[in-house]
Amino acid sequence: MSTNFLRGAVGLLGLLTLVAAGCHTSRVVNPPPIAYPPTATTNTVDTYHGTAVADPYRWLEDENGEGTRAWVEAENAVTFRYLESLPEREPLRRRLTELYRYDRYGVPSRYGGRYFFTRVRGLENQTVLLTADSLEAEPVVLLDPNRLSADGTVALKSYVPNDAGTRVVCALSVAGSDWEEWRVRDVATGQDTGDVLQWVKFSGCAWARDGSGFFYSRYDAPPESAKLSKVNEFQKLYFHRLGTPQSDDTLIYERKDHPKWGFAGETTEDGRYLVISVSEGTDTRNRVFYKDLSKPDSPVVELLRDFDASYNFIGNDGSVFYFLSDLDAPRSRILAIDVTRPERSLWRELVPQSDATLTSAGYVGGRFIAVYLRNAYSEVKFFGTDGKYQKTLELPGIGTVSGFTGRQDSRETFFAYTSFNTPTRLYRYEFATGNTTLWKQPEVPFRPEDYETRQVWFTSKDGTRVPMFITGRRDLAPGKAHPALLYAYGGFNISITPSFSPANLLWMEQGGLYCVPNLRGGGEFGEEWHQAGTKLRKQNVFDDFIGAAEWLVKERRTTPGQLAIAGGSNGGLLVGAAMTQRPDLFGAALPAVGVMDMLRFHLFTIGWAWVSDYGSSADPEQFRALFAYSPYHNLKPGTCYPATLVTTGDHDDRVVPAHSFKFAARLQAVQACQNPVLIRIETRAGHGAGKPTSKIIEESSDRIAFIAHQLGVNVAAP
């Protein structure tokens, strides 16, 4: 679930009764019997707009309750006993460990003549922050989170150097929580300055031009007992001056009349303005305010206050601000607004909307670098500040690029390139010569040329054409069905594009297909595509996903008994909805950290922020739509559901684990066949970010071993 502070009744009963009669069980021969832990139920019933809705597992929402902790322990005992019995588990774990033994670098950036970048060496648990005088010099370790905890669960979430490159703000999180503790590190000494900021979440960092301090956003401290579940509201924007306690920080902006507004501050390169993006949850629309830092005690000016589109600040030339915006352009364009003459009639369009989706843009090296998505893979174009097209950057192939940061006078920029069979490569681009050179290329023990990706198009239920990437070994026999893993997301304007994953490679090594459809609700084709999968139109997302599965079966790429589905967060909801609507279509399901109770998601942490995509049960019409597909509420007794391994983390404060707890408990109670229903609850882990490499390998091995076993895949020993 993305939270964009830095910038939702079908005849199911009849359907399920019909498919239950013809439902296939997993292909496992003599599956081991599972004795699920007894799970208590209550008579909890809520009434929504005249409809009574039972919630018998409400008590599992109490993450600190003794009963919940005992249930977690009992479920994990059953799950790990089962996973440990799988013959596929150990060879897959060994091979995945081999695949992770490579160095992974982050895109470099330059501040004050120094380079800053991250690296993970082989099986290191966490990302290490490095700095170097030149690209050829041996880098110096600036911060190594691996030394901050014995179990590797302290993670560097982000870092921001000041303009001079003398100090760096480092955002750390513990056990995968969204809560961050910020520290400031002195580059020369490699030591912390003593500045410590707490209760920071969903915040950017914007240094003052003189390096005296920085702007950031935070919440008030929650009660300790509810810090992982309490609703997050009333974010405030502060300035922290170096060398002073957090209690002395200057409040820059707050809105007591708008508890759901979030603030992301960004200083302009010339140091004159603080640009404040004002968001409401995950809504792509935002407001933009600014403060003139050249004038002491200047007020915050509401520049764009209509909440009518997205406006992402790119840079400025004096009083002229450049924005990437989808105003009257669902695939986005670049606008220029003079803040001294902000009338809409005086706005200038510099780069118009095109037939590709403009996803990001930077003002670097005296030009705009625009990154587009064309059919869900990247294109990069350069434009002058007058909006004139200059060139298209040649890329290594059909994949995904990111990066292109720097200053307006930078002589170079860096970008990352990846694809389904290409581990992330880093490139340096020189503006003077136009040359692109490879800086870092990882060495992973496999042959990329043995794999191929094809993009196909299928037709969804309502006639909409949807693309899908299919990747697998080149030597797979054509016209023969193969085990397949179908992964998607479909929400919050997030685009799912080609990227490399050792775990996905592991699956493909075993002869499996990895299939990624670009569903409505995502951002691949602009804001109209996104909106087509929201609120009362959310069923389109599930129809697209089911349509992808039906196409794979129809085209004999796989069979229902060989097809597994996976997704995380909003993608976990997707898997939950698909398996409850079409349990006959899938052999196994892997819902991860999913939003499973669509009637109560808004009552925990940042869940209220997702109403812009999902809608809310408080609205009668939206309630009916949510209730019709909510995975937890649409599990029906007497139905044979696919073999399911639910995964979550006990420190997930984005999508609280109660969603997965309640769904798994209900699914175990109603399952009408021998297909296993297990829940794997990672301790000291959150929504996913910052998870140690060791835990990633363990969890990924378990997930692939589970579906390999259920789908009858013959796992080859490494």
CA dist 82 and 67 (Å) reads 23
Q: Is 285 helix (H, G, I), strand (E, B) or coil?
A: coil
SS3 content of the chain, % helix, strand, coil (to 5): 25, 35, 45
Q: Is 564 helix (H, G, I), strand (E, B) or coil?
A: strand
Residue type, 327: L
Q: Is 569 a catalytic residue?
A: yes
Backbone φ and ψ for 362, nearest 5 degrees, come out as -130, 150
What is the 8-class DSSP label of residue 146?
G
> What does residue 405 show for φ and ψ, rounded to 5 degrees?
-95, 165
Q: Exactly one of 482, 602, 659, 687 is catalytic; which is it?
A: 687
572 and 655 Cβ atoms separated by less than 8 Å: yes
Please give the helix or strand (H or E) that residue 592 lies within, else none: strand 588-592
Give dist(CA 316, CA 332) in Å, integer: 18
Could you tell me if 652 and 593 are in contact, meaning their C-beta atoms sit under 8 angstroms apart? Answer: yes
Q: Is 687 a catalytic residue?
A: yes
Strand spans (E) along 82-139: 104-105, 109-111, 114-120, 128-132
Contact 353, 359 (CB under 8 A): no
Question: What span, in angstroms and rounded, lies between the C-alpha atoms of 501 and 424?
Answer: 10
Q: What is the DSSP letter of 137?
A: S
Residue of 229, 569, 630, 701 marked catalytic: 569
Separation in Å, CA 312 to CA 202, 265, 315, 335, 342: 16, 12, 9, 10, 16
SS3 category, 195:
strand
Q: Is 96 helix (H, G, I), strand (E, B) or coil?
A: helix
> Please, what sign has the CA dihedral across residues 213, 218, 222, 225?
negative
What residues contact residue 531 under an 8 Å CB cut-off, 6+ apart?
537
Q: Are 385 and 318 in contact (CB under 8 A)?
A: no
Which residue, among 117, 74, 199, 133, has the nearest Cα to 661 in the 3D structure?
74
| Residues carrying an active site annotation | 569, 687
